[in-house]
């Protein structure tokens, strides 16, 4: 087992020892009927999304159980537009000036849904992740990774039980678009939770590898090339077959730092301005493959620049080491 594999094993051991298994309730039992909003963590008027901290009942308050709810507008599909601009909608004019008219339009109930994501029970890490925070750029040298980042990952004990559930077909099996079951180069491809599946122009899928010993870009080397090429070729072929989107219309990339430390690859449509697709976070898969081909230990030698937030534990670790 390589160094990254050892880190992965330590993370898994820490998570399992904590007994963090998520909510005792099934997702369908959360109806928000007894939900109490504690505070608005953050909101984005441009993307029409709001992040909320709350709890479900007084028992949650006693047990210090928290919830994070993400509420966002769904995509405007052709069906929704046709329903909005029909006699089935209720309209109220707000401004009329010459040829210009502004309306408040209330569409039929079936076309006015809000996409709502629930994280429950939520940890303080979730609360911090979705709170409004100052952002900073960090330059992580190879020695910083060894001295700061890797110990932080091992110490933090991030739960990836939801990833295990997907890989073991315990959850979301019906959403799998493609799977290669090979233990070395295999992966599962499925829609990201950010995509509602309604518009191809907003397409967002993620490939999660079956191997458990590869945490991030820092772990990649020549031994990873068969895995990366397999994801690139079979992932794009599966998306082309199911959605009719060719490779030259896809943005395929990895994050650094990733949101969870189990290697995964993002596939998004070029027309979609996906969160985390900027140069300070996203690394194109084709570039990653070529970089390793040019220099075997590229990602062990490179200084990696990434964006982080003020409440992030990793950022605090860099500040404590005088590297923030």
Known catalytic residue: 264? Answer: yes
Which residue among 126, 255, 262, 264 is the active-site one? 264
Domain boundaries, the chain: 3-18+133-320, 78-110
DSSP string, 84-131: HTSTTSEEEEEEEETTEEEEEEE--GGG--EEEEEEEEEPHHHHHHHS
State the CB neighbour count (10 A cutoff) for residue 147: 14
Looking at the chain, the whole-number percentage of residues with pLDDT higher than 70 is 90
CATH superfamily ID and name for 3-18+133-320: HIT-like (3.30.428.10)
pLDDT at 31 over 80: no
What's the rounded mean pLDDT across residues 100-124? 86
Structure tokens at 144: 């910083």
State the CB neighbour count (10 A cutoff) for residue 11: 23
Least confident of 60-64, 87-91, 221-225, 290-294: 60-64
Question: Contact at 8 Å (CB) between 212 and 198?
Answer: no
pLDDT 10s digits, 48-87: 889 999 998 876 776 778 999 999 887 777 778 888 888 8
């Amino acid at each position: 087992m390589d160094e990254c594999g050892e880190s992965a094993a330590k993370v898994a051991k820490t998570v399992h020892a904590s007994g963090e298994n998520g909510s005792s309730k099934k997702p369908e039992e959360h109806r928000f009927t007894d939900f109490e909003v504690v505070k608005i963590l953050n909101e984005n008027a441009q993307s029409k999304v709001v992040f909320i901290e709350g709890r479900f009942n007084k028992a949650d308050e006693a047990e210090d159980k928290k919830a994070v709810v993400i509420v966002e507008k769904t995509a405007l599909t052709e069906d929704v537009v046709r329903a909005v601009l029909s006699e089935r909608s209720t309209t109220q004019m707000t401004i009329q000036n010459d040829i210009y008219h502004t309306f408040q339009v209330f569409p039929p109930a079936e076309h006015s849904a809000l996409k709502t994501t629930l994280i429950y029970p939520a940890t303080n890490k979730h609360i911090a992740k979705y709170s409004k925070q100052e952002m900073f750029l960090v330059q992580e040298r190879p020695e910083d990774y060894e001295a700061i980042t890797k110990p932080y990952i091992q110490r933090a004990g991030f739960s990836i039980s939801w990833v295990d559930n997907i890989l073991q077909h315990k959850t979301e099996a019906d959403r799998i678009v493609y799977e290669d079951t090979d233990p070395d180069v295999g992966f599962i491809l499925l829609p990201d939770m950010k995509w509602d599946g309604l518009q191809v122009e907003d397409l967002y899928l993620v490939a999660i590898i079956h191997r458990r010993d590869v945490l991030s870009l820092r772990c990649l080397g020549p031994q990873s090339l068969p895995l990366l090429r397999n994801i690139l070729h079979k992932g794009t072929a599966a998306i082309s077959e199911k959605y009719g989107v060719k490779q030259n219309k896809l943005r395929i990339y990895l994050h650094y730092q990733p949101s969870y430390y189990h290697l995964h690859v993002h596939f998004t449509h070029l027309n979609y301005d996906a969160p985390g697709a900027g140069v300070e976070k996203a690394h194109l898969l084709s570039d990653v493959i070529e970089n390793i081909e040019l220099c075997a230990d590229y990602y062990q030698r490179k200084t990696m620049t990434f964006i982080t937030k003020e409440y992030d534990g990793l950022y605090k670790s860099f500040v404590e080491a005088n590297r923030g």
